[in-house]
Amino acid sequence: MSGPKLRVLPLGGLGEIGKNMMAVEYDGRIVVVDTGLRFPTAEMLGIDLVLPDFTYLKERAEDIDAIVITHGHEDHLGALPWVMRELNRQGVNPPVYSTRLTIAMARSKLDEHKLKEVDLNDVRPGDEIAAGPFDVELVRMTHSIPDACAVALHTELGTVLVTGDYKFDQTPVDDKPADFSRLAELGRDGILLLAGDSTNADRPGYSPSESGVGPHLEEVFSRCEGRIVVTAFASNIHRVQQVVDAASELDRKVALVGRSMRKNVGIGRSLGHIDVPDGMLIQPQEVEDFPDHRVVVISTGSQGEPLSALRRMAHNDHRQIQLRRGDTVVFSATPIPGNERAVSDTVDRLYQIGCDVVTTADAPIHASGHGYQEELKLMLNLVKPRYVLPVHGDHKRIRLHGQLAEQVGIDPDDIFAGDNGLPLEIDEHGARFVDPEQAGMIFVDGVDIGDPADTALRDRRTLSADGIFIVVATISGQDGKPVHDPEVIFRGVPFMDDSDELAEEIRREIELILSRAADDKIREIEELQQELHEELAAFVYSRLKRRPMVLPVVVEV
């Protein structure tokens, strides 16, 4: 008879930066760690968000005993409303656990989706949570958002430690460093598997302390004579506090711009994570009421997101803040891999307006929330895991994290470079990858979720590149012959210098196609539209050498 098996299934976060989600299974029961999302890339036209494919969780909904969130960033928390809605549809409502700030952010997200019945539980690091065969423990870590934790899942077979995002900051802004002593105790007692953050596995040394950013921000501010716009992650509450402190030292008012910035600062203030002096905050519409040298704006949009506040300001499309020559825009963040072009485009637009721009290349005004190589080695040495599963990183960083584990003495055979959907199974005989499960992406368009293979994305790419032309043809209900001249409408088709001439050619081609179809006794509207689609697409390509979307409409009278 075989002994108990522990199964760890990453559903997101491996081979990518974002949408972190992991199912940890023991004795047929599951604890889910994190429900993250990521933001779409440039080619995902019209897509708002990207979620992990959590089909596995829907199929195993009855077996889920708890969902545990490591911290409040979107790539760990953002998919929770969609996950809970689907699980509720399966008739289950597993409890959700995390620390106070993270639960407050989760509650805000669920309220937006009108999900009121979710069982949210805020717990403190060190509290024990009973979840089926698991004893779950949160361990305090430092990151770029308060209340970040690692998750220790204790089972009879051993303990799995999921680090979440972390760095070993000795002088954090909130004076709450990572719980080194508890990590060492866990290492002494024995960690079966470490699932560790790999984000900065390619950076040597130690990450700079977050508290070092504040003085540099104040130095940059002191050189600015006009208005200052600082853009940072809305969830980076420590950074917001340091911007507020620097503004206070220079007697400047602060305006918060961007819905997520206002919401997160409100949550942070209510829980005591942000302290803003009385009378310091002003509304965005009040910015013009103060001299330029008295104003700091804290805005979303550090990643060049298309609808973000800063992007709209850069395109002179913001309702309340109009940028002008003499303003200084400070990027207190670095681009997430994949966002570099969007950020560069935003910066270029700001220069076109006449703004001065300060980035991390100009001053040390950002500190990563993820540990560098020496911190990853410190984690490995503190907890001394039997097995290592690098997570939270693209394939390059996962491999580099594995090499760091080898350097500190972990057997290469005990290091598993995995992938989304590839379960790692551990029992008394060892650890191994087993048959993969379904994993991938789910796209969110508005509030709907859909299949990533949906033809809508392909259609949107076609529209963006080559445009569309619509033809409306009317045929006789008696003989199927064309009745009126067909109507041809072009939209977004490039290089249409001779559009009138081409439209006339297309009309003649439509009449020929429909006449042939009538002679062949083809009378089904769908079949006629298909004939028009195929033949007109070939005809237009022969003339333009482009493939606009062809949308034929046939009306019978």
Residue 195: closest CA among 377, 364, 10: 10
What would the DSSP string read from start to end of 422-437? --EEEETTEEEE----
Q: Strands 96-98 and 64-68, how do they pair?
A: parallel
Tell me the C-alpha distance between 507 and 133, whole Å.
71
What's the one-letter identity of residue 97? Y
**Residue 544: other Cβ atoms inside 10 A:** 16
Tell me the C-alpha distance between 532 and 471, whole Å.
9
**Residue 218: other Cβ atoms inside 10 A:** 17
For the stretch 357-392, what's the b/e string if a residue is b when 16 or more beta carbons lie within 10 angstroms of its beta carbon? bbbbeebebbbbbbbbbebbebbbebbbbbbbbbbb
Query: 453: Cβ–Cβ under 8 A, 6 or more apart, which residues?
Result: none
What the block records as the tokens of 442 is: 């789910």
Is 238 catalytic? The answer is no
- Cβ atoms of 288 and 224 closer than 8 Å: no
Three-state secondary-structure class, residue 365? coil
* Crossing angle (nearest 10°) for helices 100-112 and 259-270: 140
Tell me the C-alpha distance between 126 and 153, whole Å.
12
- Cβ atoms of 369 and 145 closer than 8 Å: yes
Q: Give backbone dihedrals phi and psi of 478, rounded to 5 degrees, phi first.
A: -90, -50
CA–CA distances in Å: residue 286 to residues 80, 106, 257: 36, 31, 12
Tell me the C-alpha distance between 318 and 302, whole Å.
16
- Cβ atoms of 357 and 347 closer than 8 Å: yes
CA–CA distances in Å: residue 394 to residues 338, 354, 381, 421: 12, 37, 23, 15
Q: Which of these is catalytic: 197, 327, 394, 466?
A: 197
- Cβ atoms of 193 and 390 closer than 8 Å: no
Is 48 catalytic? The answer is no
What would the DSSP string read from start to end of 24-63? EEETTEEEEEEE--BPPPTTSTT--EEEE--HHHHHTGGG
CA–CA distances in Å: residue 257 to residues 236, 306, 458: 15, 15, 34
Please write down the HEC assignment for all residues of 453-499. CCHHHHHHHHHHHHCEEEEEEEECCCCCCECCCCEEEEECCCCCCCH
Instruction: Calculate the CA 488 to chain-centre distance.
Output: 41
Q: Which of these is catalytic: 370, 392, 394, 466?
A: 370
Query: Active-site residue numbers?
Result: 197, 370
